[in-house]
Amino acid sequence: MTKKPVVDVSTLDSLRALVDVRQMLQKSRVAFGNRTAAIERGSDNAEPETHALLARWEERFQQLEDAANEDISFVIGDNPLVESMIQVKGVGQILAAKIIALVDIQKADTVSSLWSYAGYGLSEYWMDGDGSVKAPKSGWQWKKTSEDKKEKVFVEADQEPGWKLVVVRDRAVEGWVLPYNRRLKTSLYVLAGSFLKSNSPYRAIYDDAKAYYQEARPDWTKAHRHNAALRKMMKVWLSHLWEVWRKMEGLPTREIYVQEKLGHTHVLRPEQFGWPEM
């Protein structure tokens, strides 16, 4: 008998559609909110009638966004994966739903593949003598066909004089297709902020990493150390999501050791951070 998926195709399709709608509504609400705030600050000289009109539309988009949230909650229901995710302090139902809507756990057969898809991967890039990343060693580009249509083509970048090959975090490079899902990375950045604000158990990963980078990398800027510590924290969380979700789906997993630069030689278990026992 085939095991029913924890997150089935119909649920994912509905979630993706609702998440897209919610994003559009939220973007419009924020735009109206920014304009009304500018009027209230005095930096926008619009008439009071305009302010009232914009405020009404901001409220309407807020109501629509709330309705989208309710529909997302209805589609999710008591899904066991989302129920497990929201046990962790700092993870809300809507954000959990948005994240799983953007991930195909069947394709993420290793945690490193999920890291890469989420924008936390490392790859080989060509760097010039000034330390600027010029191109990935290989990747996808959009090319025009003879019929003047675009198609995605896999390309091996040619080395130019003075370039050397380095392994660095994945990034956007002009002329190349982004090697990760931008929306997923943005959602994870929001989640990282929630972990810090709520003093989630995952914050300990951030604090340890930041302390390490302050001592080991004094040449880095404060922002660089902060972002590196966030990256470390979210890679641990993603490894736990990967393990929990894959086990729920009956897919193979392996233990994830967090050894990179922080000196951990033991497994950081999901249960240590609030996930339910599997």
Q: What is the pLDDT of residues 237-272, one digit of tens each?
A: 999 999 999 999 999 887 665 544 445 556 789 999
pLDDT of residue 1: 45
Domain assignment present for 203: yes
The whole-model pTM stands at 0.87
**Does 231 lie in the same domain as 272?**
yes
Residue 250, Ramachandran bin (φ over 0: left; ψ between -120 and 50: alpha; else beta): left
Position 98 in a domain: no
Domain count, the chain: 3
Task: Please answer whether residues 29 and 62 qualify as being in contact, where contact means their C-beta atoms are separated by less than 8 angstroms.
Answer: yes
Tell me the pLDDT tens digit for each residue of 213-226: 999 999 999 999 99
CA angle 273, 258, 102 (to 5 degrees): 65
- The residue range of the domain holding 58 is 9-77
Same domain, 186 and 244: yes
Q: Are residues 161 and 29 in the same domain?
A: no
CA distance 188 to 202: 13
Mean pLDDT (whole number) for 104-113: 93
Of 139, 130, 140, 135, nearest to 173 by C-alpha is 135
CA angle, 18 then 23 then 29, to 5°: 125
pLDDT in tens, 81-103: 999 999 999 999 999 999 999 99
pLDDT bracket for residue 77 (50, 70, 90): confident
Do residues 111 and 209 both lie within one domain? yes
* Same structural domain, 111 and 188: yes
Phi/psi at 136 (nearest 5 deg)?
-70, 155
- Report yes or no on 18 lying in a domain: yes
Residue 204 covered by a domain: yes
Whether residues 184 and 264 share a domain: the answer is yes
Same domain, 206 and 161: no
Are residues 166 and 184 both part of a single domain?
no
Average pLDDT estimate for 168-172: 94
| 195 found inside a domain | yes
Together in a domain, 184 and 275: yes
User: Tell me, what's the pLDDT at 255?
Assistant: 66
> What mean pLDDT is reported for the chain?
91
Reported as a pLDDT band with limits 50, 70 and 90, residue 33 is very high
What pLDDT is attached to residue 277?
87
